[in-house]
Amino acid sequence: MTSLPENRLRYQVTESLPPWLALGLGAQLVMLTINPYVILAIVIFRGGGSDDFLSWGIFATVLCCGMASLLQAMRIGRIGGGYLVPVGTSAILVPVSVTAMANGGPALLATLIVACSLVQMALSIKLSTLRRVLTPTVTGTIIMLLPVAMMPIVFDLLQGPVPEEPLAAKAVSALVTVAIVVGIGMRGSGTLRVWALALGLVGGGLVSALFGIYDFEHVLSAPWVGLPHGQWPGFHLDFELEFWSLLPAFLLITLVAMPKSIGIAIATQRVSWRRPRAVDFRAVQGAAAAESASNLFAGLSGAASVMPFPVGPSAIQLSKVASCNVGIYAGLILIILAFVPKTLALIIGLPSSVVAGGLFVMLSTVFMTGMQEVLQDGASQRKTLIVGFSFWAGAGFEAELIFPEFFAEVAGGLFQHGMVAGGLIAILLTLADALSQRSSQFSGRVDAAELPKLNEFLGTFASRCGWNGDKAQRLQAVAEEVLALLQPQARQSGDEPSRLLLTVRKDGEGAVLEFMAGSGDEDLNLEDRIALLSEQPPEGQEDAEVSIRLLRHLASSVRHQQFHNAEVVIVHVDA
C-alpha cells in the first residue's frame, strides 16, 4: 500500500468529541446539504405535474435522509458503515423519477424505489463477487468524476431558480461565501477551520439578506411545528405496463450507480484516519446495506430515492473532524427539522448561490482523494490508459460534447450522466484487461497440508510462462507466507479449515496472485500490518510479523480486502 501523507485530523472516526462540537458540525453539514436535495425533491414531485403531494414528499424526504444518515453513522449489525456519510436525494434517478410521477403518480414511484432497494440489498450481501470490478482503478476514477458530475448542479444552483434576482446580488453573496471558506481553510487556526463552512454560509446569507434575495416570506409563512399537508401515497400494486416499462431503467441506473456509492464510502474511509490504512470492505458492505435499507424506507414513506451525498470526504478534509458522532447529530437534526417547518424554511431560505459557493469549495478537494485511490498500487501503462480515457470520456458525456443527440436516446439517456458513463467505461476496460490475461486456478483448503499441491501448481504455472526456477520459488514463497497468515484465523474459529481459491495470472514480466478464503479475524489486515512493520507487533502476533516481513520483501504490493463472507488477498509479484 502506497504511503500517503499523514492526515492531521483533530478527531478520527472512532473518537468521541464534545457534544456541542458534534452538534455544531452536524448543523453545518445540514446547512450545506439540505438545500440541494430539497430542490431535487421539488423537481421530482413537481416535475411529475403534482403539487398536491409536494409538501408530504419534502417532509418524507427530509425525514428519510435523517434516518439514513443515522444508520450510516451508527452501524447497526451489518447495516451501516460506521463513518460520516451524509445522505441526500439521488440526483441520478431524477429523470426517471419524474417520468414515474407523470405516468403513475407517487404510488408508482414508491413501488419502483422499493423494488430497487431489494436489488441493492442483494448486491451488498454479495459484494465480494464484485471484487474484480471494484478495483482501486475503477473506484478512484469514479471518485475523480464525482465533482465533475456535481458541478452542473452547483452551477445551476449558482444561477438560482429565480431569474429575476439581481445578478450582482447572487455573484457577491457566492463570492463572499467562497472567500470566507477558502480564507479560513488556508489561513485560519485549527479551531477556526472547523467552522469554515458554517461561517461561510452565514456570511453569504447575511450578504444575500442585505441584497434582498433571502427568502424571508417563506420563513414567516411556515408553521413552527406540525405535519405537512397531503397524505401517504400508498403503492402501485397493479403491476401494469407503466411499472414494467420503467422498472428496467430504474434497475439499470441503480446497478450502474452503485459504484458511486461504494466510491464515496471508500473515499470517506481514506480521509477518516490519521494514519493511512487499508479499506475495510465490511464497512463498505454496511454502507451499501444502509443505502438499500434507507431506500426501502423511502419507498414505504413516499420519499424520493436517496444515496450518499459526495460532500462527506471534503467536509472531513476541511474541518479535520471525521468522528461518526457528527453524522449522528446531523441525522437527528434532519429528523427534528422534518417536524419543525419554520426552522427547515430558515435553512432552505438560503439563496442557491450561497449554497453553490460552499459546495464549490468542498468538491474541489474530492478529485485528489480519487487520485490517491488510483495510485495506491502504483501506476502502469494500462492503468493510466483506463483512468485517463474513462475520466475524459465521462467529462465529455457530462458536458454533452460526445454525440449528445445520439446518446440521449440510448438506455434512456443513461450516458448523459458523466459519472455513470465514465464509471461504466472504467469497469468494462478493467474487465476486458482481466479477461485478456490467461489465469489458472487452484482449489483447496487454508491448511499447511495443501502446500505440496500448491507448490506443484505454481511450479507448473511458472513453467508454462517460461520462467526459471527462481521465479517459481518466489511465487511459492509468497503463497506459503499468505497461507501461514490466513491459517491461524481458521484455527481460532475452531472449525474445519475454510476453502481456499487461488487465482494466478501473468502480469507483464510478473504475476498477480489472488487468494480467496472464508472470513477471519477482523483485527488482522495484512496491508495495515505491512504499513506498521516499524512498530511493536501486537501481543501474540510475533510469528505473524515474520511472515509479514517476508511477504513485504517478496511482493511489490499487497492488498487485503475483508468482506463479511470472504477474505481476499491480492499480491503483485514483480520480475
Map 33-91 to HEC letters. Answer: HHHHHHHHHHHHHHHCCCCCCHHHHHHHHHHHHHHHHHHHHHCECCECCCCCCCEEECH
Q: Are 333 and 290 contacting, i.e. CB atoms less than 8 angstroms apart? A: no
Cell numbers 481460532 correspond to: 492
Rounded-to-integer distance, Cα 458 and Cα 505, Å: 10
Break the chain into its structural domains and give their ranges.
19-432, 437-573
The whole-angstrom distance between residue 450's C-alpha and the CA centroid of its chain comes to 38
- DSSP strand E in 395-468: where? 439-445
Cell numbers given for 434: 482481466
Long-range pairs of 239-244 with CB within 8 A, sequence gap ≥ 24: 242/100, 242/103, 242/104, 242/108, 243/104, 243/108, 243/111, 243/112
SS3 call for 519: coil
pLDDT by 10s per residue, the chain, length 575: 444 444 578 889 888 888 898 998 898 888 777 766 776 777 677 655 555 677 788 888 889 999 999 999 988 888 888 898 888 887 667 767 777 887 788 888 889 999 999 988 988 888 877 777 767 788 788 778 877 777 776 777 777 666 667 888 888 988 998 898 888 878 776 667 767 777 888 888 898 888 888 877 767 777 788 777 667 777 777 777 778 777 876 776 677 677 778 888 888 888 888 887 878 888 888 999 999 999 999 999 888 888 888 778 888 888 888 898 999 999 999 999 888 888 777 776 778 788 788 778 777 767 777 787 787 666 677 888 988 899 998 888 888 888 877 777 666 566 776 777 888 888 888 888 777 777 788 888 888 888 888 888 888 888 888 887 788 888 888 888 888 877 755 444 455 667 888 888 887 778 888 888 876 555 566 666 566 554 444 454 444 556 667 777 777 788 888 887 778 888 888 76
**203: CB partners within 8 A, 6+ apart:** 176, 177, 180
pTM of the model: 0.70
Rounded-to-integer distance, Cα 70 and Cα 85, Å: 9
The fold for domain 437-573 equals Heat Shock Protein 90 (3.30.565)
Map 97-130 to HEC letters. Answer: HHHHHHHHHHHHHHHHHHHHHHHHHHHHHCHHHH
Looking at the DSSP bridge assignments, the partners of residue 513 are 504, 571
Cell numbers given for 131: 471484487
- How far CA 343 is from CA of 67, 189, 213, 223, 561, in Å, comes to 18, 30, 18, 9, 44
Cell numbers 507448490 correspond to: 455
- How far CA 249 is from CA of 80, 93, 94, 327, 425, in Å, comes to 27, 9, 12, 32, 18
Rounded-to-integer distance, Cα 93 and Cα 469, Å: 55
Cα-Cα-Cα-Cα dihedral sign, residues 376, 525, 316, 357? positive
Cell numbers given for 449: 497440508
